[in-house]
Amino acid sequence: MVTQAYRTAVVVSFLILLSCAYSFRGSLPESIKSVQVEQFRSTVTEYGLEQDITALVTESIVRDGRLSIDNDNPDVRITGSVSYFSRTAVTYTSGEDVEQYKLEIRVVVSMGNAVGNEYIIRDETVSEWLLYDPSEESLDSARARLVTQVSDAVVRRCLSGW
| Domain extent listing, the chain | 26-160
Fold designation for 26-160: Double Stranded RNA Binding Domain (3.30.160)
Question: Would you say 99 and 59 are in contact if contact means Cβ atoms under 8 Å apart?
Answer: no
Using CB atoms within 10 A of its CB, is residue 83 exposed (0-12), middle (13-18) or buried (19+)?
Answer: middle
Determine how β-strand 98-113 pairs with β-strand 119-132.
Answer: antiparallel
E strands present in 4-75: 34-37, 41-42, 68-69
CA gap 152, 154 in Å, rounded: 5
Global confidence as pTM: 0.79
List pLDDT tens digits, range 62-93: 999 999 999 999 999 999 999 999 999 999 99
Query: How many Å apart are CA 147 and CA 128, to the nearest integer?
Result: 9
Please write the tens of the pLDDT for every residue from 122-153.
Answer: 999 999 999 999 999 999 999 999 999 999 99
36 CB contacts (<8 Å, ≥6 apart)?
Answer: 69, 70, 71, 74, 76, 77, 78, 114
